[in-house]
Structure formats: structure tokens, C-alpha cells
Amino acid sequence: MRSFLPAVAEQLFRDIQKTHQESSQIPDDLLIALKFVFGPCALQALDLVDQRSVTCLSSPSGRKAFQVMGGSGCLYTCFVSCHYCPCPAFAYAVLRRNEALLCKHILAIYLCQAMGVALQESVSDQQMSMLLSGTAAP
């Protein structure tokens, strides 16, 4: 579980997951709550979800990483298990200034997981090891 997020954020993702099972659209009240909890990156993250920019990479050993194609065309490899994204916004707003809970890329990953819409790609254990060590992308 994502223990570093506030309980209200956890509940919000559960509510999105529940309502998405019944309808393909997120209700307005949950969209407003997303904006309230996550600020301006909420709309940017929803845009990434709509553009199908999130890919879940999984290896036979069970390791997972996510790749998100940013709006600028940069591909970011994010690790939700350790709450990390290499984008400048994460470094500045989350780590340095402590102004945000997360960046739009990680929020897009959480939203895709809640909605079950992340693209899926299998990679070899060797490719995943290289990805995790930062030496190459799959």
C-alpha cells in the first residue's frame, strides 16, 4: 500500500477504482477532490491518462516499473514502490520545496492503476535489472 500518501488520497484512489468499475468516467465530485488534494498536477495527470501515456513494465521475477511519456516527449521511468520520478517537477516541488505530494507522472500512474488502464509490457529480468540500475531502458 502507498503508506506515504495521506489517508484522504488513499480513499480517493479507492473511490475512483470503485466508480470506474461501474462507469468509464470519473464523477465530477471525485474530479474536484483530485484537484483539491493534488492541486494543479491533477489535470495534467488526467491528461496523461487520457493520452494513454502510462506503461507498466513487469518482469518474470515480479518486479515492476512504470514509464510515463511526459507532455514534452520525455520518457520518465518511475518507481511507485519507492515513490520516485526523475522529472524536474518531482525534484523541485516534492523533494526540495515540499510543496506537493507527488508529480503528475506518479499521479497518472496511481490513476491508471485505480482505473485499470495502464498499458502492460513484459520485459526480461535482464532488461528490468538494467532499467533499475539506470544503465538502459527496455
pLDDT, tens digit, 9 for 90 and up, residues 88-132:
999 999 899 988 889 999 999 999 999 999 999 999 999 999 988
pLDDT for the residue numbered 76: 94
CA distance 37 to 113: 18
Q: pLDDT tens-digit profile of 45-76?
A: 999 999 999 999 999 999 999 999 998 899 99
> What does the chain come to in residues?
138
Is the alpha carbon torsion for 117, 1, 88, 37 positive or negative?
positive
Q: What is the mean pLDDT of residues 8-16?
A: 92
Strand runs (DSSP E) across the chain, as ranges?
54-58, 64-69, 75-78, 119-122
Helix and strand numbers (H, E) in the chain are 6, 4
Rounded to the nearest 5°, which phi and psi values hold at 113?
Answer: -65, -45
**Three-state secondary structure call for residue 7:** helix
